[in-house]
């Protein structure tokens, strides 16, 4: 399926350690996942997000689809919420049956308690992350509805085009892609933690979110990311001729998607939310870890 879990991150040749072994040895992302693999996944998610935004930008804002109890058809189904929330629940119900949310890089917008158990047997996936309860999907959904959708649909000249099913379908695709990108920050923070646990441990034992944020923030990487997504959005938003080449004279044209909107999405929302996820994950990273392991990490040299 298109959400094949961790397809480019997990090495299928590495034996899976149980929780006890991982706690004794400290084995995790450090030995099964490289920075190159993480960067590849994050770069590919940039493509996915931009293409899904281009698809969503074809349709009007359709604010009624985000308004709770606006559709009488849903009231007859005893559902309280918006058209988009109903769409999410129905789609995520099917995906849950196909065990999508047993993968560590997938997080539903619907409460997991309201979703069915998987029909398929669980996969024997490596435990790449430490146990956590991090999920910022409600923040993602709020930002998307209030800031992103109005921005990418503003040039259409209409607020409502009646294409409620099509626009909601695209909304779900964008939301799921952004969610995966933001929550992937936990793999990044796990990798950083294991490379230099002695740097992080003091600020976890004596909780200091500000210092943890400083440790994970890389301004040069962020600056390069913003340049990259701007260029991608400009490239992917071009019209092509019959031979698949960009049509000349598009440099000043707005294209299918304004690159400035993509830059704003990452700069104001995706990157800050990713940092929230990373810090929240790190703050509970030592919960239940044996003291002997913590001391071994503290003695680890850079």
Asked if 204 contacts 212 with a C-beta cutoff of 8 angstroms, the reply is yes
Q: What is the pLDDT of residue 27?
A: 45
Q: Domain extents for the chain?
A: 33-120+127-299
Asked if 49 contacts 178 with a C-beta cutoff of 8 angstroms, the reply is yes
d(CA 198, CA 210): 17
- pLDDT tens for 231-254 read 999 999 888 878 788 777 766 666
d(CA 282, CA 95): 29
d(CA 68, CA 4): 32
d(CA 241, CA 191): 44
Q: Residue 179: phi, psi to the nearest 5?
A: -60, -45
Percentage of the chain surpassing pLDDT 90?
71
Contacts of 146 (CB under 8 A, 6+ apart): none
Superfamily of domain 33-120+127-299: Chorismate mutase, AroQ class superfamily, eukaryotic (1.10.590.10)
Structural tokens at position 152? 């990418």
Asked if 287 contacts 276 with a C-beta cutoff of 8 angstroms, the reply is no
Asked if pLDDT for residue 55 goes beyond 60, the answer is: yes
| Residue in this structure with the two tokens 């590495």, named with its chain if needed | 14
> 191 vs 104, 188, 298, CA distance in Å?
15, 5, 16
More confident residue, 246 or 147: 147
Mean pLDDT rounded to a whole number for the chain: 87
- pLDDT tens for 152-172 read 999 888 999 999 999 999 999
More confident residue, 35 or 73: 73
- pLDDT tens for 180-213 read 999 999 999 999 999 999 999 999 999 999 999 9
Q: Is the dihedral of CA 84, 86, 91, 97 positive or negative?
A: positive
Q: What is the pLDDT of residue 22?
A: 44
Structural tokens at position 12? 């299928």
Contacts of 237 (CB under 8 A, 6+ apart): 54, 255, 256, 257, 259
- pLDDT tens for 83-102 read 999 999 999 999 999 999 99
Asked if 6 contacts 104 with a C-beta cutoff of 8 angstroms, the reply is yes
Structural tokens at position 165? 């099913």
Average pLDDT on 1-28 reads 42
Asked if pLDDT for residue 255 goes beyond 90, the answer is: no
Q: What is the pLDDT of residue 251?
A: 66
> 130 vs 11, 55, 282, 286, CA distance in Å?
18, 35, 9, 9
């Amino acid at each position: 399926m298109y959400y094949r879990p961790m397809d480019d991150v997990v090495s299928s040749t590495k034996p899976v350690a149980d929780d006890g072994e991982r706690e004794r040895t400290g084995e995790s992302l450090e030995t099964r996942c490289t920075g190159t693999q993480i960067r590849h996944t994050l770069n590919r998610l940039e493509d996915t997000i931009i293409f899904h935004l281009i698809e969503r930008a074809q349709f009007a804002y359709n604010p009624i689809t985000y308004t709770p109890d606006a559709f009488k058809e849903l009231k007859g189904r005893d559902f309280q919420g918006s058209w988009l929330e109903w769409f999410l629940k129905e789609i995520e119900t099917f995906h849950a049956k196909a065990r999508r949310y047993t993968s560590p890089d997938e997080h539903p917008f619907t409460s997991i308690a309201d979703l069915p158990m998987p029909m398929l047997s669980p996969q024997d996936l490596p435990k790449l992350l430490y146990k956590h309860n991090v999920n910022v999907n409600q923040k993602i959904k709020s930002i998307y509805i209030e800031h992103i959708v109005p921005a990418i649909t503003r040039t259409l000249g209409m607020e409502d085009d009646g294409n409620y099913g099509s626009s909601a379908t695209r909304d779900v695709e964008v939301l799921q892609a952004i969610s995966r990108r933001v929550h992937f920050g936990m793999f990044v923070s796990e990798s950083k933690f294991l490379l230099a646990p002695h740097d992080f441990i003091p600020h976890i034992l004596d909780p200091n979110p500000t210092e943890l944020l400083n440790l994970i923030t890389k301004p040069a990487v962020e600056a390069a990311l913003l340049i990259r997504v701007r260029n991608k959005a400009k490239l992917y938003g071009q019209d092509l001729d019959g031979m698949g080449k960009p049509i000349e004279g598009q440099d000043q044209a707005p294209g299918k998607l304004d690159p400035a909107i993509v830059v704003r999405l990452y700069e104001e929302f995706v990157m800050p939310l990713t940092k929230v996820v990373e810090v929240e994950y790190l703050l509970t990273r030592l919960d239940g870890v044996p003291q002997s392991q913590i001391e071994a990490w503290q003695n680890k040299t850079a």
